[in-house]
Amino acid sequence: MIEIRLLEQLAAFAEYGTLSEAAEKLHTSQPTLTRSMKQLEDELGVPLFIRRKNHLTLSETGIRAAEYAKHVLVADRDFEAKVRAYDRSLHTISIGFCAPVPQTILTPMINNVFDGMTISADMSDDSLFEDKLRQGIYQLAVLHYKPESPEFFCKKIGNEQLYISLPSGNPLAFYPEVHLCDLNGLSILLLSRIGFWSNVHREKTPDSKYLLQVDESAFVELAENSEYPIFTSSYFIRAGQTMTGRIDVRIADPECSTDYYLVCLSSEQKKYKHLFELVHENTIS
């Protein structure tokens, strides 16, 4: 069997044209390559080079050989990558979250149930989550709608109602509830990684100026020391995380009240049985 080392060296020579340069790139000496290429020819029983006193060129067969060699090298690298990826997949659970609150609530629960596993959490709009579950990129996902396909196993895990937190001086603060269109055009403080909520805001309040904060502590500090409206939700209100001097007004648009669903592939349902048993209708509220 031809060793990978020889194929690497052949490929390098094909790429760089001279043994000297190839040797340099491979961090080895040039006589090493002379010997290796000779060995390769010996093992194949086929000449790969045109040898002049001073110069080495690939023969027609050599050119082909270098191309084929690349395939083998790709296969070899693939092997490494796949094995590592597979092992990793055994030790990590990848989860797609469509919103921050489910992540906050579920992450510790998942950590308990799958002790020793690494949890890799994505946060984004959930429009692609079904595909990512199918492809095995995610093992679990939290959607804000109930997936139709029978290939998914799914359980409702609660709901969230969006509020707008306004300084008590703000005229809107006196209404019992508002609509998103009332907020359109305002400058609003906003955290950046909020999943599908980004889409809701972009669509319903296209003219608002969002002051995006990547860092949560910066967001909190700005919120406390400014008059900017911020979004909050039933989850934070119920947890008593309200801000003094501000009034939380319910947003009446239907998009601002959503249910959450925990989803996995039906075929993997039993793997996650314990987790699904642990969550209930109102885990999030």
Q: Which residues bind DNA (CB under 7 A)?
A: 3, 5, 18-21, 27-32, 34-39, 49, 51-56
- CA–CA dist 24, 12 (Å, integer): 10
Tell me if 229 sits within 8 A of 183, measured CB to CB: yes
Residue 82 as a binder of a second copy (CB under 8 A): the answer is yes
4 near a second copy, judged by CB under 8 A:
yes
Say whether residue 7 binds a second copy (CB under 8 A): yes
Which partner from the list a second copy, DNA, none does 239 bind, CB cut-off 5 to 8 Å by kind? none
- Closer residue to DNA in complex, CB, 24/255: 24
- The first and second tokens of residue 256, run together, are 């601002």
Q: Give whichever of 65 and 262 is closer to a second copy, judged by the CB atom.
A: 65
Window of 38-46, 175-183, 190-198, 224-232 that interacts with a second copy by CB under 8 A? 38-46
Which H or E run contains 261?
strand 257-265
Report the 10 Å Cβ neighbour count for 9: 24
Q: Where in 57-76 is the site for a second copy (CB under 8 A)?
A: 60-61, 64-65, 68-69, 71-73, 75-76
Strand 140-143, strand 92-97: pairing: parallel
Classified as helix, coil or strand, 103 is: helix
Q: Which does 78 bind (CB under 5 to 8 A by kind): DNA, a second copy, none?
A: a second copy
- Taking the C-alpha atoms of residue 225 and residue 49, their distance in angstroms, rounded to an integer, is 75
**Long-range contacts formed by 27-32: CB under 8 A, 24+ apart:** none
Question: Least distance from C-beta 60 to a second copy, angstroms?
Answer: 6
CB of 262 to DNA, least distance (A): 41
Neighbours of 70 (CB within 10 A): 16
Give the shortest CB-88-to-DNA separation in angstroms: 23
Choice between 43 and 87, CB closer to DNA: 43
189 Cβ contact list (under 8 Å, min separation 6)? 210, 211, 213, 219, 222, 223, 226, 228, 229, 230
Q: How far is the CB of 203 from a second copy (least distance, A)?
A: 44
The candidate with the shortest Cα–Cα distance to 9, out of 39, 44, 51, is 39
- List residues near a second copy by CB under 8 A: 1-5, 7-8, 44-48, 60-61, 64-65, 68-69, 71-73, 75-80, 82-84, 86-87, 90
